[in-house]
Structure 1
Amino acid sequence: MAFGDQPAYLRVADDLRKKITTGELPPHTRLPSQARIREEYGVSDTVALEARKVLMAEGLVEGRSGSGTYVRARPVPRRLIRTGFRDGDRSNPFRQEQADDRIIGTWESSSEREEAGREIALRLCIAPGERVMRTRYVFRAAGDAVMISTSWEPLAVTGRSPVMMPEEGPLAGRGVVERMAAIDIVVDNVTEEVSARPGRAEEVLTLGGVPGHSVLVISRTYFAGGRPVETADVVVLAERYRVAYHLPVR
């Protein structure tokens, strides 16, 4: 088998990857053994092992204790629809985040005060160390965790007000726009940035992924007259979602 100038383990991984993506090695099929890879590709045990590690890091295969390495079943990506603020479903944070009426979701949350780190302070236009309310959500569909969201609100804005705790008080569970309106703050703009990165161990474990999986991060910030009043990171497994934006034409 002739190969190009890539390192041998990447060339072997590339060929095996093609067999997986084309269906020659369908889901739940056992990956060729290390000895078989060595024989078929004319490479060393080290190269065969490294090639398998690449496929495992990419989430294409998974090891089963005492059984071997198997091709993973790849989920069909769902669209994560982003539409900005909607007047309906304001009492359902899951609806606000994923805006797909076909999915009935539940969520759990916890809030605590903390000092803003450098990144969050920059996003909120406050000094590092200023107090914020951090709220972490885990959203579930059919009982499975599908999304993690962490938000930060400056206590200089919400402190000692009825909306200081997003999930407690008279406006518990309401969206940012409605909660801020209750304390006479008009949210008039929102920005989002989408990025990808390797998932952190806790995130991947919570979302039911495999170590090494990548995640999509939607970093969202709400503004009132140019002042940030809330910023959040929405995290999903990259292999499960495609982010789709529905934006009005003005």
Structure 2
Amino acid sequence: MTFSGRWSAHRIADDLRNHIQNGEFAPDGRLPSTQELVSQYKSSAVTVRQAVQRLKNMGLVTSQTGVGVYARRIDPIAWRAHRSDGHGRGEYPNGDVDDWTASIEELGRVPSYDAPEVTVELVEDDIASWLDIEAGTFAVVQRCLRRVDGVPHQLVDIWFPKEIAIDSPLMKPSGATMDADTLAGIGPPQVRRRRLLRGWLPTEEEIGRLELDADAANPVLRHVLVSYDAANKPVRCEVTIAPGDRNLLVLDDE
């Protein structure tokens, strides 16, 4: 890039980001040293370090003290949420394999779940509003972590009103979309769904559960899917937290 003015940290970071995203630095490849970047951009070491910090905040590089700065290997999945929530296909293609697992296998990647847990918990305001119950009351939640090639890609928490789930097969941990099939088997039928999407910087809990770099400032996407019965009453609420650099959300109109 040709630029005759003074290179700011922001401009240096943008230029390096373009080089990284264009594949000019191989995944896990080492970037030029601080002194090399100072010479390249005719800037100061302080400005270059600020630029590198911006790249770290974007999740594009990692650094090792005394060793160097390296481009991160980022290989996001194409997450087709409408096909991986237990409803999109209408059937499981292979016995115990749920829709999300099948969709990841189609990409040539290796899906897995950490062992899911089912608990009865007090709900916070947002969950209460989606399930149309009072905040501070109890609901049943199944929590699990989805991995792709061993790397955490999505947190999935699925909530049910306790009157539906208690003493039902939903209390048994299962794959994080197989419960939709279980719910269909015990009723009530799910006749309508609503999706809500929002992005933010990850919370401390989300950083820990998703094994994110605490110094990075990549946003996460919250995808909420609320299912309703024929009386328009919520019967299921699936909340997925997906790091933005690991997931490409694809919503096809079918």
TM-score (norm 2): 0.78
TM-aligned CA deviation for residue 113 of structure 1: 1.2
Letter in 2 for 1:233: V
TM-aligned CA deviation for residue 17 of structure 1: 1.7
Identical amino acids, percent of aligned pairs? 21
Matched, 1:135 2:138: no
Corresponding residue number in structure 1 for 2:77: 78
Letter in 1 for 2:4: A
Q: Could you tell me how far apart the structure 2 residues matched to 1:243 and 1:19 are?
A: 24
From the superposition, tell whether residues 12 and 114 of structure 1 become closer, same or farther in structure 2 (CA, over 3 Å). same
Corresponding residue number in structure 1 for 2:91: 88
Gaps of 5+ in 1: none
Is the contact between residue 194 and residue 217 of structure 1 (CA under 8 Å) also seen in structure 2? yes
Corresponding residue number in structure 2 for 1:20: 20
Matched, 1:179 2:183: yes
Letter in 2 for 1:175: D
Matched, 1:165 2:171: yes
Letter in 1 for 2:58: E
Aligned partner (choices 157, 160, 163) of residue 153 of structure 1: 160
Is the contact between residue 166 and residue 174 of structure 1 (CA under 8 Å) also seen in structure 2? no
Aligned partner (choices 216, 219, 225) of residue 224 of structure 2: 219
Is the contact between residue 169 and residue 182 of structure 2 (CA under 8 Å) also seen in structure 1? no
TM-aligned CA deviation for residue 64 of structure 1: 2.2
C-alpha RMSD of matched pairs (Å): 3.0
Q: Could you tell me how far apart the structure 2 residues matched to 1:119 and 1:63 are?
A: 38
From the superposition, tell whether residues 96 and 235 of structure 1 become closer, same or farther in structure 2 (CA, over 3 Å). farther
Aligned partner (choices 188, 191, 210) of residue 188 of structure 1: 191
Q: Could you tell me how far apart the structure 1 residues matched to 2:78 and 2:156 are?
A: 17
Q: Which shifted more, 57-66 or 125-134?
A: 57-66
TM-aligned CA deviation for residue 165 of structure 1: 1.0
Matched, 1:197 2:203: no
From the superposition, tell whether residues 115 and 205 of structure 1 become closer, same or farther in structure 2 (CA, over 3 Å). closer
Q: Could you tell me how far apart the structure 2 residues matched to 1:58 and 1:126 are?
A: 38
Is the contact between residue 201 and residue 219 of structure 2 (CA under 8 Å) also seen in structure 1? yes
TM-aligned CA deviation for residue 118 of structure 1: 0.8
- 1:15-66 CA distances to partner (integer Å, 9 max, x unpaired)? 2222223334333332233333334333333322211100111121111243
TM-aligned CA deviation for residue 181 of structure 1: 4.2
Is the contact between residue 9 and residue 47 of structure 2 (CA under 8 Å) also seen in structure 1? yes
Local SS of the residue matching 2:31: coil
Q: Could you tell me how far apart the structure 2 residues matched to 1:56 and 1:231 are?
A: 34
Aligned partner (choices 87, 98, 121) of residue 128 of structure 2: 121
TM-aligned CA deviation for residue 207 of structure 1: 4.0
Letter in 2 for 1:132: A
Letter in 1 for 2:194: T
TM-aligned CA deviation for residue 128 of structure 1: 0.7
Task: Give aligned pairs, total.
Answer: 239
Gaps of 5+ in 2: none
Aligned partner (choices 237, 240, 252) of residue 231 of structure 1: 237
